[in-house]
Structure 1
Amino acid sequence: MHGETRLPRNAKEGILFLLIISILSVNTIAPVIVGLERGFSKEVYLDTLKVIPFMWIIVVLLVKLVAGPLVGIVMPRFIGCTDGFNARVLLNIVLNVTVLSILLSVIGPWVGMRRISLEPIKNFLHIWPRNFGVAFWIELLVAQPIARFGMKLLHARQDRKSEGFQV
């Protein structure tokens, strides 16, 4: 996928890509999950907003330190050399969302309740499938496409600039 315009080409673009996805994800997934748990209301949404900055930091750290390395190990076992861009992106989303939703189904309630308890672990089999579903569809339909579109626009702009210098 070298030269793919929809993906970051260097570390700086990788950070931008991660920022776009993580900000969109945390600001949509958390309110939806909390709304499904506690009901959709202005008060619940405002409570969620208080926790979002902490969740964003946790999500970024989990992506960089846990999900990214694990997915990097597992992906090559499932992807073949003839698999296309969309198949690779879909598997990447499924694997990342699986890892993150497992971890955040426990960590998220701890942060939201501001205390560590066994409750999220006891309710894990009840809450994880819902959390996975919400996160998967938001990643697939909102966060990832917007981030890839942003990369495509950035690369088109860079290409126009470099063409201007070659003339």
Structure 2
Amino acid sequence: MHAETRLPRNGKEGILFLLIISILSVNIIAPIIVGLERGFSKEVYLDTVKIIPFMWIIVVLLVKLVAGPIVSKVMPKFVGQTDGFNARVLLNILLNVTILSILLSIIGMWGGTKEISLEPFRNFLHNWPRNFGIAFWVEILIAHPIARFAMKTIHARQARKAADRQF
């Protein structure tokens, strides 16, 4: 999939791809989840916005240090040679969101309350499916399509520049 125009081709593009997805995800998912927990109001939203930079760092670290390595080991067990781009992307998103939603259902509550407690474990079976569903649909419908569109745009621009250099 290295030649795929919808995915990053180098480290710089990989960082941009991760930034787009993570910034969109944290800024959409966190306010929805907190709003469902505490109610949707301006005050709740402003409280959430204060936590978002801290949570964004946690999300990026979890993606790079936990979810990414696990998914890269698990993906080959499920993906066949004939599986297309969309199937691979969907499985990748499903695995990443599963891992991250499990971890963030716990860590997110700790970050939001600024207190490490057993509360996230007590409510885990209630909160995790909801959090997973919100995160999955945000990733599928918003974050990843925007990030893939950005990559496709960058690669089209690079191809035009390369074509212009040949003439």
Output the CA distance in 1 between the equivalents of 2:54 and 2:119: 20
SS at match of 2:87: helix
Output the CA distance in 2 between the equivalents of 1:37 and 1:144: 26
Partner of 2:155: 155
Output the CA distance in 2 between the equivalents of 1:165 and 1:9: 20
Output the CA distance in 2 between the equivalents of 1:10 and 1:108: 31
Q: 1:44-123 alignment to 2 at 5 Å?
A: 44-123=44-123
Partner of 1:35: 35
Q: 1:9-28 alignment to 2 at 5 Å?
A: 9-28=9-28
For residue 119 of structure 1, report the CA deviation from its aligned partner.
0.1
Please tell me whether residue 140 in structure 1 is matched to residue 137 in structure 2.
no
Question: CA offsets, 1:96-138, max 9 Å, x none?
Answer: 0000000000000100001100000111111000000000000
Runs of 4+ off more than 4 Å = none
Once the two structures are aligned, what percentage of the paired residues are identical? 78
Q: Report the residue type matching 2:160 in the other structure.
A: R
Question: CA offsets, 1:63-93, max 9 Å, x none?
Answer: 0000000000000000000000000000000
For residue 166 of structure 1, report the CA deviation from its aligned partner.
1.0
For residue 27 of structure 1, report the CA deviation from its aligned partner.
0.2
Q: Report the residue type matching 1:126 in the other structure.
A: H
Output the CA distance in 1 between the equivalents of 2:57 and 2:95: 20
**How many residues align structurally?**
167
Output the CA distance in 2 between the equivalents of 1:2 and 1:39: 44
Output the CA distance in 2 between the equivalents of 1:57 and 1:2: 28
